[in-house]
Structures are given as C-alpha cells and as structure tokens.
Homo-oligomer: A and B are copies of this chain.
C-alpha cells in the first residue's frame, strides 16, 4: 500500500523534508493534495469529528489507518522503513534530536517574514520582519549552521554524514536547509561554502545522488516561491 503524504499544494514548505526522504528511497507514495480532489480529502481529514487521532496541521502521513503528524515524527516513523535511519537504536534518538533542531530552525526561517502574526500579510509586518531577519542573519544562521558543521566534524564515523556512517533523513533535510537559505538569502549565504565546508560538501553530495537528481529535475519538485517557508524578499537579505 502506498504512503499518503498530505501537504499544501503549490509550495515546497515543510512537506519537502518528507518528500526528499520518500524520493531518495524511491518509495511508493501519493502526494494527496496535488491530485484532483486531493485538497478536499485533506481538509476532510483535518476537520473530521470522527477520526480517532487528528493532526494539528499538514504535513501528515497516512499509512493505512495510522496518521502521523509533524515532519520530525513522520521521518522518525518512516526512517527505518525507508532505510534512512541509523540501524543502531540509540542513534535514532540522536537523529531525531538533530531533526528537531532543524525543525526549530525552519520555524525561525518562517518567522523572518512573519514575526508578528501568521494572520497578517508580510506587507503588514515588514518593518518588524526587517529587524527579525537582520537578527536571523547576524546571530541565528551562524548559530545553527555552526552547530551542524560541528556535528559533522565530531561524528565519530566521519564528516560525510551527520549521524552514523550512512545516509539518513537528517542529511537530506540539511540539503534542503542549504538550498532554502541560498534561495531566500543569497547575499547572506554567499560565503557559506567557506564558513561551513563540511555542511556544503554534504549538500553537494546529496544533490548528486541519482534519485535526488531525478527528483530535482522532475515536475514533482516545485520551485521555491514567496508562499513557502523560504521566501526571497531582497529587503530582508544582507551581507553576513
């Protein structure tokens, strides 16, 4: 039976971290909301008064009757099934911890353009966004990227992967982080290859994996745009 991924159509957004894992593993999955009537099916589940376990928001994954919500939780669940989690069980909690740091970072990326409210347009909170984005570039990018660089450097199995000796969903998510930051903040990320060499080398290695390459050039991979998490507003970008 296919996995069913539920996420908003039209953006990469948070769903993309799940898609990259499914695509790398060439898993059998349906991107429900991109199908005819898919949005209606997603809204029906979100609003259901009879489902025993309702998700708070997309993305969520349906595997048979089980609905798993939140990116890190979906990846924790899928990782072993897709061969993208460490075999060693304690290391799975290390991978999950890393994925949750990525989750926090993604929320901060979102808040650079929506610091006051998700119910207001960007244009109506632009001044606050400028302050938050400046702080993000000065303090938060170095803090998070520096952390992941250090994680790679201290991995006892070598700096080609974040956890253990093999590819995991965490590596795939970090690829997406580098992609997204470069799209949203081209000035701030100009030198990231020099500053975070192991992280950018990991990004480059992921980009060349056959299934990822195939996915990135397919129609299934949407372009970044100004409705997603990573948005390019030149007025929020600056040299690091």
Q: Choose from B55, B67, B101 the contact partner of A56 (Cβ within 8 Å).
A: B101
For the complex, give the distance between the alpha carbons of A151 and B69 in Å: 13
Measured CB to CB, the nearest residue on chain B to A120 is B135
Which residues of the partner chain B approach A101 to less than 8 Å between Cβ atoms? 56, 69-70
Q: List chain B residues, Cβ under 8 A from A68.
A: 93-94, 97
A107 proximity list for chain B (CB < 8 A)? 104, 107
Q: Are A73 and B50 in contact (CB under 8 A)?
A: no
> Is B56 a contact of A147 with CB atoms below 8 Å?
yes
- A interface residues, tally (CB under 8 Å): 47
- Does the CB pair A132–B116 fall under 8 Å? yes
Residue of B at shortest CB range from A72?
A: B100
Q: A116-B135, A117-B132, A128-B116 are in contact. Are A154 and B93 (CB under 8 A)?
A: no
Complex Cα gap A68–B163 (Å): 13
User: Is A54 an interface residue when CB atoms closer than 8 A count as contact?
Assistant: yes
> Do B131 and A117 touch across chains, with their CB atoms under 8 A apart?
yes
- A126 interfacial by beta-carbon distance below 8 Å: no
**Do A100 and B73 have beta carbons less than 8 Å apart?**
yes
State A115–B18 Cα separation when bound (angstroms).
28
Q: By the criterion CB–CB under 8 Å, are A156 and B52 in contact?
A: yes
Contacts of A234 in B (CB 8 A): none
Output the nearest chain B residue to A65 by Cβ-Cβ distance. B90
Contact with B along A129-159 (1 / 0, CB 8 A): 0011001000100001001001100111000
Instruction: For the A-B complex with A56-B144, A119-B139 known, give 15 more contacts whose Cβ atoms are closer than 8 Å.
Output: A49-B154, A52-B155, A55-B97, A60-B97, A66-B94, A68-B97, A70-B100, A73-B93, A73-B96, A115-B115, A115-B128, A115-B132, A116-B131, A117-B139, A128-B131
Q: A residues bordering B, Cβ < 8 Å?
A: 49-56, 60, 66-70, 72-73, 76-77, 90, 93-94, 96-97, 100-101, 103-104, 107, 111, 115-117, 119-120, 128, 131-132, 135, 139, 144, 147, 150-151, 154-156, 163
